[in-house]
Amino acid sequence: MAHTHMLNIVIFGPPGSGKGTQSEKLLDKFQLKHISTGDLLRAERAAETELGKQANAFICKGELVPDDVVIGMVRNFMVNHSDSKGFIFDGFPRTVNQAIALDSMLDESKTTITCVLGLEVGENELVSRLLLRGLSSSRIDDQDENTIRTRFKEYQNKTLPLQDFYQIQGKYCSIQGTGDLSTIFHSLCACVDKARK
Ligand code: B4P
């Protein structure tokens, strides 16, 4: 069965840039399935699975979880939701290997990424957002500034190269991620609409 009409959105940006926040709004509008690898990993940890325990050691240090773990998890999710109209990939891919794996998983379903929405936010604003969330959530990785700085380093070294990867494919759309939530949301929707034409 061909699924070329599917809408597949990657929401991209550094830790705390608003990926999770804006994904919720996009899901509502476009009726897609949400794949947040951060949420899936935290659910595995809460269920005390072997995968969850393994992942937790990396998350607590602010490091990326190994590619094979994350890719396997995403593959399972996609197989279990193969009747979906499309997906929002939130926090995935985070490495070039993950991006290559995603392209081939979508290719197996005869579909592709529609667009990559990149949220741009400066580092100082990101640190204060995450520390603020750390006060009210149980996320250990948001509570300590050193862990947050490690997450940024991981982002710079391993995730940022994906910007070029998607720019070359003509799929990258850069969006100012500071300011009013609904203004940001409207900019994201404008990129999606343009990519669908
Ligand atoms: P994630 O759960 O993806 O965490 P995140 O990058 O911090 O983004 P999140 O979506 O939660 O936050 P948001 O920007 O929406 O990953 C956590 C960890 O899991 C990683 O460090 C890694 O160890 C592991 N992991 C996950 N995926 C992986 C992968 N693919 N490969 C390897 N490892 C992986 O929001 C942050 C805060 O900002 C919120 O409090 C929000 O209210 C606020 N905010 C949002 N928009 C705002 C705005 N416009 N103004 C002011 N505040 C705003």
- The ligand 1 atom at the shortest distance from the C-alpha of residue 91 is 3
CA of 54 to the centre of ligand 1 (A): 20
**For residue 2, what pLDDT band results from cuts at 50, 70 and 90?**
very low
116 bridge partner residues: 10, 172
Q: For 181-191, write each residue's pLDDT tens digit.
A: 999 999 999 99
CA of 15 to the centre of ligand 1 (A): 5
Q: Collect all residues with Cβ–Cβ distance below 8 Å to 1 and sequence separation of at least 6.
A: 110
CA of 142 to the centre of ligand 1 (A): 9
| Closest CA to ligand 1's atom 25 | 38
% of the chain surpassing 70 pLDDT: 98
- State the average pLDDT over residues 119-144: 93
- State the average pLDDT over residues 168-197: 97
Q: How far apart are CA 81 and CA 35, in angstroms?
A: 10
Domain boundaries, the chain: 7-34+86-192
CA 127 to chain centre: 18
Q: For 138-151, write each residue's pLDDT tens digit.
A: 888 999 999 999 99
| Closest CA to ligand 1's atom 37 | 16
**For residue 115, what pLDDT band results from cuts at 50, 70 and 90?**
very high
Superfamily of domain 7-34+86-192: P-loop containing nucleotide triphosphate hydrolases (3.40.50.300)
Contact 35, 41 (CB under 8 A): no
pTM of the predicted model as reported, rounded to 2 decimal places: 0.94
